[in-house]
Amino acid sequence: MDLVMGVRASDIGSTEFLVLHGELGAGKSHALRYLKTQIEKPGSTFNSLAIYVERPRVSAKLNFLELHKFIIAEIGRDRIKVFCANVKEEIDITISELAAAAGFGDEPNKSSFEPRAIEGIKKNNRNMAQLLRRGASQPDKVFDFLSGAIKCDGSEYEGKIDSDFMAAKVLGDLLRVLTSELRPERRIFESVYIFIDECEILFDAKATESDPVFSGFRELINGLPYGLGLILSFSAATALIEAYMPQHLLKRMTHDFIEVPMLEDGQAIQFLKEQLNTFRPVDCPYQGTFYPFSEAAISHIVENQTTLTPRNLFKDCRRVLERAIRRHKLEPGEEITQDLAERILEHRR
């Protein structure tokens, strides 16, 4: 959380490229979704954009172009429309300020000051800034271009977004403009975040598929030295990640591998208790207990689990509960005892 918060312009502001790893079911997906929720919840101090991608393969084809299209779709047509309006507003304010400084503040037509306003924007941001500003009157065309559906209808970009290189460049341009100062201390977002889960599928893919995705990540990091939080999640050991991930990307990691570890016995018992109580009504008489399990039954489930991850714990608890109801006629108000949990789990073996 500290690293994610540090990406904001009001904090450290540097780009963070992190790799999250751990056993299947350890809670990596939950962690990424939690971060997205914290970033975008109403009243959040982040003022940031967060995109969660369930896995790198977002279509039949595995490449960065398809990933780019998915991210643009997640941002959505409505938000692109807002971005266009925001960029136009900031540039128009700059134009008005330049005109006023030159003594032409009362002139209705200030278009002669537009080139100077554009020149005040960093060179590598100008094309995207101009596209978004121009697109304020036709935002659908901007969205369609960004999503790869049509050619750019202006001089900012040539042709369509139809290659991995073009996708990485345009996405980088868009996110950089959204996080850069269009005027002093004026940004649309303080930071942007892309969280990509289940990246281990890149290890099983052909090099012709995985390489463009890894290269796209590299270009994205290169294009946004500030304000980007990119987190990739792997259900794999660090040795495997280091063996498969290209060196050009490993060298760009800004922090050591972050492991989501398995739970210890005490943590697992407390975790299950909290999960059970999360869904109880406030006036429930079983609040604060392990019901419908006894504490001894929960302890047995935990002690007999070799891989203590939330996923495995949920599977065993559900199995015990379902069998207790269906086969052992558990009635409301009754507890699952340790003996019953042992018999059910032993039958599984």
CA distance 173 to 168: 8
In this prediction, residue 208 carries a pLDDT of 92
In this prediction, residue 168 carries a pLDDT of 96
Q: Is the pLDDT assigned to residue 203 strictly greater than 80?
A: yes
> pLDDT tens, 72-89?
999 999 999 999 999 999
**What is the mean predicted confidence (pLDDT) over 144-173?**
95
In this prediction, residue 200 carries a pLDDT of 95
Within the chain, what is the greatest distance between any pair of CA atoms? 88
Residue that is written with structure tokens 């015990």 in the block: 320
Coil, helix or strand at residue 16: strand
CA distance 196 to 20: 10
CA distance 171 to 66: 12
Contact 151, 142 (CB under 8 A): no
Burial environment of residue 93 by CB neighbours within 10 A (0 to 12, 13 to 18, 19 or more) = middle
* 57-66, 98-107, 123-132, 338-347, range with the lowest pLDDT: 98-107
CA distance 91 to 182: 7
Q: Which structure tokens are listed for 303?
A: 């002690």
In this prediction, residue 102 carries a pLDDT of 85
**Bridge partners, 230 (sequence order):** 17, 194
CA distance 260 to 256: 13
In this prediction, residue 348 carries a pLDDT of 57
**pLDDT band at residue 118 using 50, 70 and 90 as cut-offs:** confident
> pLDDT tens, 54-65?
999 999 999 999
Q: Which structure tokens are listed for 349?
A: 């073996």
CA distance 288 to 276: 9
Residue that is written with structure tokens 């340790």 in the block: 338
Residue that is written with structure tokens 């052909």 in the block: 206
Residue that is written with structure tokens 């697992």 in the block: 268
Neighbours of 68 (CB within 10 A): 26
**What is the mean predicted confidence (pLDDT) over 114-131?**
91
Q: pTM for the complete prediction?
A: 0.85
> pLDDT tens, 302-340?
998 888 889 899 999 999 999 999 999 999 999 999 999
At 258, which helix (H) or strand (E)? strand 258-259
Share the mean pLDDT of the chain: 93
**pLDDT band at residue 43 using 50, 70 and 90 as cut-offs:** confident
Contact 190, 225 (CB under 8 A): no
HEC assignment per residue over 287-306: CCCCCCECHHHHHHHHHCCC
Q: Is the pLDDT assigned to residue 346 strictly greater than 90?
A: no
CA distance 179 to 265: 44
CA distance 322 to 328: 9
Q: Which structure tokens are listed for 325?
A: 């109801």
**What is the mean predicted confidence (pLDDT) over 182-200?**
94
Q: Is the pLDDT assigned to residue 347 strictly greater than 90?
A: no
CA distance 314 to 20: 22
- % of the chain residues with pLDDT over 90: 82
> pLDDT tens, 235-282?
999 999 999 999 999 999 999 999 998 889 999 999 999 999 998 998
